[in-house]
């Protein structure tokens, strides 16, 4: 990475997550481009990037939007913000541009993508990362942050605190992102998987928000049992969740007024693709490895995979 130079960042995708973080990094002074499909490229070239957030206000600005055929090497960081089921396509697009000095920062859900990225680009190229944001892309192509969440956590997978992670985190904070570079990024990613896997499994299986489930007979007990099993899985794999995390999510899941749903449920109800294998399937396998009762994970995964079969048949009809 060039000392003293502007950080060159390529963001794969300009949807809800990539568009928000990319826009804020641009405001901080990054030399940044978005890797997008032709339809999104045309939209961004015509209207620019528009994002709205309760905490950082409205942003409207022209941006550089490239298709895969237009990419060239020379990037310091590639921010990988695609869905997990698009990982292989993303790897193919990035092969020509990830050089020996390029770091790949994925903020995908789950953990299985780390091994695949390290296989594709080398262990030293891949960082760990996670995002916490409630954002959506409206029909006009505008990025709408639905809350003041705008968290981005990253780190080296070997636990060292290198200039590339600390410099990126500082740049992100300058843009209004609540960013942090941490030594135990794997632990942070496991904590997110515990949280996401619990809410995704419950809301997809029962088709309601956490509050609606909690108000149903036996709903709170179901949510807390699922949470405890996921925490046991993480602990077995060497990443017990912090006590404060456990208390926070027990309270969240027990709240009868809660309105929390997983993005997987929203994707499912809109007829879209879902990350069944990368979240629910991963936890089901991990439960078996940990000797944790897998029954709740198995039924949630079966439910999601049955939806995928139905969706495939309906699209083929």
Which residues lie across from 78 on neighbouring strands?
10, 104
Same-domain check for residues 176 and 103: yes
What are the tokens at 177?
């992102």
Same domain for 40 and 140?
yes
The answer to the question of residue 46 being in a domain is yes
Reduced to 3 states, what is the DSSP secondary structure of residue 152?
Answer: strand
* pLDDT number for residue 5: 60
Give dist(CA 206, CA 68) in Å, integer. Answer: 40
**Phi, psi torsion values for 108, nearest 5 degrees:** -80, 160
CA 13/CA 25 separation, integer angstroms: 14
Contact in structure between 287 and 294 (CB atoms under 8 Å): yes
pLDDT score at 159: 95
Q: Are residues 235 and 305 in the same domain?
A: yes
- Mark which of 150, 167, 183 sits at the end of a domain: 183
Q: Do 155 and 286 belong together in one domain?
A: no
- Asked whether residue 198 is domain-assigned, the answer is yes
How many domains does one find in the chain? 2
Confirm whether 72 is domain-assigned: yes
Is 25 inside any structural domain?
yes
Q: Are residues 200 and 121 in the same domain?
A: no
Question: 307 Cβ partners below 8 Å, 6+ apart?
Answer: 268, 274, 276
Residue 61 in domain: yes
Same domain, yes or no: 104 and 233: no
For 70, the domain range is 8-183
Residue 2 lies in a domain: no
**Ordered per-residue pLDDT tens for the chain, 317 residues:** 545 568 999 999 999 999 999 999 999 999 999 999 999 999 999 999 999 999 999 999 999 999 999 999 999 999 999 889 999 999 999 998 999 999 999 999 999 899 999 999 999 999 999 999 988 899 999 999 988 899 999 999 999 999 999 999 999 999 999 999 999 999 999 999 999 999 999 999 999 999 999 999 999 999 999 999 999 999 999 999 999 999 999 999 999 999 988 889 989 999 999 999 999 999 999 999 999 999 999 999 999 999 999 999 999 98
20 in a domain, yes or no? yes
Residues 88, 20 share a domain = yes
Q: Of the residues 148, 183, 218, which one is the last residue of a structural domain?
A: 183
Closest CA to 87 of 95, 76, 97, 99: 95
For the chain, report the end-to-end CA distance as a whole number of angstroms. Answer: 51
C-alpha–C-alpha distance, residues 155 and 139, integer Å: 34
Query: Do 256 and 214 share a structural domain?
Result: yes
Strands 178-181 and 151-156: parallel
Which pLDDT belongs to residue 3?
52
Structure tokens at 142: 């505008």
Q: Last residue of some domain: 183, 207, 242?
A: 183
The conformation of residue 80, written as its DSSP 8-state character, comes to E
pLDDT at 263: 86
Distance between CA atoms of residues 265 and 143, nearest Å: 20
Distance CA 148, CA 55 (A): 5
Within this chain, do residues 35 and 171 fall inside the same structural domain, yes or no?
Answer: yes
For residues 114 and 197, state if they share a domain: no
143 and 104: one domain? yes
- What CATH code is carried by the domain that includes residue 111? 3.40.50.720
Tell me how crowded residue 74 is: count the other CB atoms within 10 A of its CB: 13
- Within a domain: residue 3? no
CATH of residue 233's domain is 1.10.1040.10
From CA 74, how far away is CA 68, in angstroms rounded? 14
Question: In a 3-state reduction of DSSP, which class is residue 74?
Answer: coil
Do 94 and 196 lie in a common domain?
no
Q: Which residues of 187-216 are buried (b: 16+ CB within 10 A; e: fewer)?
A: bbbbbbbbbbbbbbbbbbbbebbbbbbbee
């Amino acid at each position: 990475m060039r000392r003293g130079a502007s950080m060159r960042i390529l963001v794969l995708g300009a949807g809800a997550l990539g568009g928000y973080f990319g826009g804020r990094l641009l405001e901080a002074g990054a030399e940044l481009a978005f890797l997008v499909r032709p339809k999104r490229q045309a939209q961004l070239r015509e209207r620019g990037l528009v994002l709205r957030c309760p905490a950082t206000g409205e942003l409207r600005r022209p941006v550089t939007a490239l298709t895969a055929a237009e990419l060239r090497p020379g990037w310091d960081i590639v921010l990988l913000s695609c869905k997990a089921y698009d990982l292989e396509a993303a790897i193919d697009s990035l092969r020509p541009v990830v050089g020996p000095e390029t770091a790949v920062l994925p903020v995908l859900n789950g953990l299985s993508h780390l091994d695949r990225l390290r296989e594709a680009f080398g262990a030293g190229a891949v960082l760990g990362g996670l995002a916490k944001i409630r954002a959506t892309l409206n029909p006009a192509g505008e990025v709408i942050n639905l809350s003041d969440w705008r968290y981005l956590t990253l780190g080296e997978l070997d636990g060292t605190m290198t200039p590339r992670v600390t410099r990126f985190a500082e740049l992100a904070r300058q843009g209004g992102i609540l960013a942090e570079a941490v030594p135990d990024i794997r632990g942070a990613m496991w904590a997110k998987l515990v949280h996401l896997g619990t809410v995704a499994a419950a809301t997809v299986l029962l088709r309601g928000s956490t509050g609606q489930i909690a108000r149903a007979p036996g709903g709170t007990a179901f949510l807390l049992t699922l949470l405890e099993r996921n925490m046991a899985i993480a602990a077995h794999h060497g990443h017990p969740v912090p006590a404060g995390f456990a208390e926070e999510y027990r309270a969240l899941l027990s709240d009868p007024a809660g309105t929390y749903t997983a993005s997987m449920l929203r994707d499912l109800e809109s007829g879209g693709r879902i990350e069944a294998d990368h979240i629910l399937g991963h936890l089901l396998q991990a439960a078996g490895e940990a000797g944790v009762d897998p029954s709740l994970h198995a039924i949630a995964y079966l439910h999601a995979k049955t939806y995928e079969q139905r969706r495939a048949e309906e699209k083929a009809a």
